[in-house]
Amino acid sequence: MCGIIGYTGQKRALPILLEGLRRLEYRGYDSAGVALVDRNGLSVTKAAGRIFVLEQLIDTQLPQTHGIGHTRWATHGAPTDVNAHPHVDATDRIALIHNGIIENNRALRTYLEQQGIEFRSETDTEVLVQLIAHFYDGDLEAAVRRALHDVTGTYGIAVVARDELGVIIAARKGSPLIVGVGKGEHLLASDPAAILAHTTQVVYLDDGEMARITPDELRLTTLDAVPVARGVEEVEWSLEQIELSGYDHFMLKEIFEQPEAIETCLRGRIDLTEGAVRLGGLVDCTRELTRAKRIILTACGTAWHAALVGEYLFEELVRIPTETEYASEFRYRNPIIDDGTVVIAVSQSGETADTLAALAEAKQRGALTLGVVNVVGSTVARESDEGVFLHVGPEIGVASTKAFTGQVAVLAMIACYLGRRKHMSPTAAMQFISALAQIPDQMRRFLKNAEQTEGIAEQYCNRENWLYLGRGYNYPVALEGALKLKEISYIHAEGLPAAEMKHGPIALITKGMPVVVIATAGVQYDKILNNIEEVRTRGGSVIAIATEGDKEIQSMAEHVVYVPDTIEPLQPLLTSIPLQLIAYHAAVKRGCNVDKPRNLAKSVTVE
Ligand code: AGP
């Protein structure tokens, strides 16, 4: 979950590397470093801490036009100056940066130490640069290729050598890497956002591929030196989309972007005249999908919560048995996948290691695999048989917001698309699609008067335990609300199906404990009012998310946040937003780093 950047061309490399690292910081931010190369040799500067620590350390006028940079999320070796990347071999000829885990690092380290090589750090990564140097005889590409044959694990790497000016060798297995193509220059990055300021022309590396880049040449080969021909693709995101645009945090910007993001997500896909959904990405597998006997949704974190809403949607609209699986469990559970099983991998980044492995497991067992993904060109998108993109634009805040509602909107469209081909009547489909079409404006209306969420956060942000309760489609929203609060404000919170309270968690309730209850109109409205009563009689403070116009609930809750009315299956698209804002304001009031919460990273590319 680190960020990698590289530049070779005519311009000074350092400003480009530092800017790229700032844009990659959401991937990992506990230490950073750069290696620059010119006739005077290798110049490496690295330090524990955020990018600004590195910027204070380094001479920002350094002239080199060739270099690599890294921002780290530590897995092996604490975030210290010595363990920061780049790592340099014992003879100071080669520097390397790495995203991933070298699993057989201990065995390789023992072998290299027996060769008399002294190690400087505790990291798994240093083993790789020492191994490359061990095989190096003036051809960096060959030495990297040779070393990688002895390595097990995952990697996205970039390597430079003191004696090979202008050359960067890159390789990928399990961690994303793209090459940016410019005039007389090439860039390298873990993510398009890091190089968008310089080019929108990119080449995506696949697993098992290497790249040799110089200012004027890009050569792709497999690990076995077989040449690879790959076209240049255009990145659809604009630079403006990855800027803060006046907001204090990317998370707040992305919360307020949801109306437009969902509008873009729905555009050209819902037909209000025909009452139909059109999903180009599913056309080639529609027959197989409609014959499916079982659907498995697999994901991690917030994407798993969206997948759980998807389970409810598929069972109600398509009437097909559907399960939601944590990818990290599914991949090792010897899952039963037979003919007619469809596996849908849901992921914002499209690079989450557990989700990728679950997808590979499903493919290997013969399932039809779909990807519901935000990042175009990402590995889940390229590895799944078919799929649907969210088109909600880049999501930079580590806490996922617009990708959650984007994932729910896409799963809702897929469910209606298949439902229409199975049991859903044209009228029911038209009602569903009309309600979906109103969501962006309903989001806008709610966001116009959302200040109340700040007051609620102010009142309870010093309480260390919160509960979130929901029923039906809003049970996954309760889970999501709790996750948002946990990951950015570090308050312990638990989301539950409201009826589960009586089976234990109700014992947690103390006087004034904040309990968020999603109590919007629906078949279980009376039941949820009973759950509110249970909380109140134990002294809990109820923060109710209710449907506009519901007067009855006012007398039952300390706070009532109203959201516009919509059909139950689509309520998660509206009820999740006040929970995003409450978590956001609580984190700000507690002085937390909202966009870069501790111990987290935007895309979890290691197991
Ligand atoms: C959510 O706010 C978190 N960033 C995290 O739980 C995230 O949803 C999870 O890591 C899955 O990421 P993905 O959607 O990119 O696969």
**Distance (Å) from CA 558 to ligand 1 centroid:** 32
Please say if 2 is a catalytic residue: yes
**Distance (Å) from CA 347 to ligand 1 centroid:** 7
Residue to mutate (ligand 1; options 255, 300, 359, 579; most atoms within 8 A of CB): 300
Q: Select from 60, 41, 85, 309 the least CA-distant residue to 190.
A: 85
Please say if 592 is a catalytic residue: no
Q: How far apart are the C-alpha atoms of 135 and 476, rounded to whole Å?
A: 52
Q: Select from 182, 130, 177, 255 the least CA-distant residue to 10.
A: 182
**Distance (Å) from CA 398 to ligand 1 centroid:** 8
State if residue 301 touches ligand 1 by the CB under 6 angstroms criterion.
yes
State if residue 399 touches ligand 1 by the CB under 6 angstroms criterion.
yes
DSSP state of 314: I
State if residue 322 touches ligand 1 by the CB under 6 angstroms criterion.
no
Q: How far apart are the C-alpha atoms of 97 and 168, rounded to whole Å?
A: 11
Considering 46, 173, 486, 602, which one is annotated as catalytic? 602
Q: How far apart are the C-alpha atoms of 127 and 104, rounded to whole Å?
A: 9
Position 239 scores a pLDDT of 72
Considering 2, 416, 461, 592, which one is annotated as catalytic? 2
Contacts of 593 (CB under 8 A, 6+ apart): none
Q: Whose CA is nearest to atom 10 of ligand 1?
A: 301
**Distance (Å) from CA 548 to ligand 1 centroid:** 31
Give the pTM.
0.86
Q: Are 378 and 295 in contact (CB under 8 A)?
A: no
Position 243 scores a pLDDT of 83
Question: Counting atoms of ligand 1 from 1, which one is nearest the CA of 299?
Answer: 16
**Distance (Å) from CA 317 to ligand 1 centroid:** 26
Residue that has been written with the tokens 């009452």 in this structure: 275
Helix (H, G, I), strand (E, B) or coil at 488: helix
Q: Are 31 and 47 in contact (CB under 8 A)?
A: yes
Q: How far apart are the C-alpha atoms of 394 and 389, rounded to whole Å?
A: 12
Mean pLDDT for back-to-back runs of 10 residues, the chain (607 residues): 93 96 85 95 94 93 96 84 96 96 94 96 95 97 97 95 97 94 96 90 94 97 96 83 86 97 96 95 94 97 98 98 98 93 97 96 96 93 95 93 98 98 95 98 97 98 98 98 98 98 96 98 96 97 98 97 98 98 98 92 83
Contacts of 59 (CB under 8 A, 6+ apart): none
Question: Counting atoms of ligand 1 from 1, which one is nearest the CA of 399?
Answer: 2
Q: Whose CA is nearest to atom 16 of ligand 1?
A: 347
Question: Counting atoms of ligand 1 from 1, which one is nearest the CA of 487?
Answer: 2
Q: Are 490 and 592 in contact (CB under 8 A)?
A: yes
State if residue 371 touches ligand 1 by the CB under 6 angstroms criterion.
no
State if residue 396 touches ligand 1 by the CB under 6 angstroms criterion.
no
Contacts of 248 (CB under 8 A, 6+ apart): 588, 594
Position 77 scores a pLDDT of 83
**Distance (Å) from CA 453 to ligand 1 centroid:** 23
